[in-house]
Amino acid sequence: MARAEQYWLDGTRVVVTGGGTREPIDPVRYIGNRSSGKMGNELALAAASVGAEVTLITATDPTPSLEGIEVVGVDTAAEMHAALLEWLPGARILIMAAAVADYRPARISAIKIKKSTGALTLDLEPTEDILASLRQSGLRDGIFVVGFAAETQDLVANARAKLHAKNLDLIVVNDVGRDDIAMNSDFNEVIVIDETGVIDEIARAPKHEIAAAILRDIHARLR
């Protein structure tokens, strides 16, 4: 294989987000999800393996195998948004693999909320739509944007709706209702969709193989 083909992202800046954000309730509790960050880690590694200069913005602890990748740690959706505002300029590709919380507590208690015998009610407010904000600011202009959709039903229909609503170039959807793939698993099984419909169905495999296949789909679109 020619070097130009093997290292097709040589010198290109790629930003990847990963992990599940944690929205604080009080100093010890938070609203979160089951995302392990493994898919984001593997996508960052896959991009680096074909020559990209990679920044991984992650809401989980990165693994030691990410040597050579710029790792930016965040906790909340707001912090991930702020990190993207800082690190996205100059990038050619953005891969939004993070499981960003849709809601956060409207008020954060400065002290630990004590357990009582009564019910506890939390008022939630929407987190910022990161992709919409980046689009409105113009920071996404000229960037190839790949989104992820975690679904439990109507995978293709829901993913296509998100692709158009977020104005994405590609979207990767997986079934998070299954125990053998996706969140907190070393395996995944995904469908890749662009504006024309399904372009790839990647069967269950270790996440590093899934990541490599997704990068090949990106390569095909960019060519």
- Give just the sign of the alpha carbon dihedral 166, 39, 18, 29: positive
Cα-Cα end-to-end distance for the chain: 17
- Other CB atoms within 10 A of residue 72 CB: 18
Query: Would you say 171 and 163 are in contact if contact means Cβ atoms under 8 Å apart?
Result: yes
Give me the catalytic one of 33, 41, 174, 188: 33
Question: Cβ contacts of residue 185 below 8 Å, gap of 6+?
Answer: 36, 38, 179, 207
Residue 41 annotated to the active site = no
- Give just the sign of the alpha carbon dihedral 221, 159, 149, 192: negative
Give the residue numbers marked as catalytic: 33
